[in-house]
Amino acid sequence: MRSDLRLAIITLYSICFLVFVGPFAVFRLAAGDIAIGVADSFILLVVLALAALAWNPLLTRLLANVLAAITAAGAVVVTVFLDLSPMWVFSTLVGNFLMAERPVALIVNSAMVAAIALQPNIFQDTADHATFISVASMTSLFSLIFASRVTRQRAQLYELAARDGLTGAYNRRSLDQDLTQLVDAGTKQPHCLAMIDLDNFKKLNDDLGHETGDRVLKRLARVALDSTRDDDRFYRYGGEEFALLLPRTSLADAEIALRHLNEQFHQAQPTADRPVTFSAGLAEYDPGEGPDAWLSRADGALMQAKRAGKDCYRQSSSSRTME
Place 14 in a pLDDT band, splitting at 50, 70 and 90.
Answer: very high
Q: How far is CA 142 from CA 83, 138, 152, 285, 293, in A?
A: 27, 6, 15, 48, 49
- Give me the pLDDT at residue 2, please: 63
- Does 304 have pLDDT greater than 70? yes
Mean pLDDT on 69-87 = 90
Place 280 in a pLDDT band, splitting at 50, 70 and 90.
Answer: very high
Higher pLDDT, 184 or 176: 176
Cα 103–chain centre separation: 18
3-state helix/strand/coil string of the chain: CCCCHHHHHHHHHHHHHHHHHHHHHHHHHHCCCHHHHHHHHHHHHHHHHHHHHCCCCCCHHHHHHHHHHHHHHHHHHHHHHCCCCCCHHHHHHHHHHHHCCHHHHHHHHHHHHHHHHCCHHHCCCHHHHHHHHHHHHHHHHHHHHHHHHHHHHHHHHHHHHHECCCCCCECHHHHHHHHHHHHHCCCCCCCEEEEEEECCHHHHHHHHCHHHHHHHHHHHHHHHHHHCCCCCEEEEEECCEEEEEECCCCHHHHHHHHHHHHHHHHHHCCCCCCCCCEEEEEEECCCCCCHHHHHHHHHHHHHHHHHCCCCCEEECCCECCCC
Place 131 in a pLDDT band, splitting at 50, 70 and 90.
Answer: very high
> Domain 172-315 is in which class?
alpha beta
- Give me the pLDDT at residue 317, please: 64
- Give me the pLDDT at residue 134, please: 95
- Give me the pLDDT at residue 1, please: 61
When the pLDDT of each residue in the chain is averaged and rounded to a whole number, the result is 91
- Give me the pLDDT at residue 312, please: 92
What residues does CATH 3.30.70.270 cover in the chain? 172-315
- Does 184 have pLDDT greater than 50? yes
- Does 127 have pLDDT greater than 80? yes
- Give me the pLDDT at residue 320, please: 44
- Give me the pLDDT at residue 318, please: 41
d(C-alpha 80, C-alpha 95), whole Å: 20
**Would you name the residues annotated as active-site residues?**
240
Percent of the chain with pLDDT over 90: 74
Cα 311–chain centre separation: 36
Mean pLDDT on 56-79 = 93
- Does 160 have pLDDT greater than 90? no
- For the segment 88-120, what is each residue's pLDDT rounded down to a tens digit? 899 999 999 999 999 999 999 999 999 999 999
Phi, then psi, of 228 in degrees rounded to 5: -110, 165
pTM given for the model: 0.66
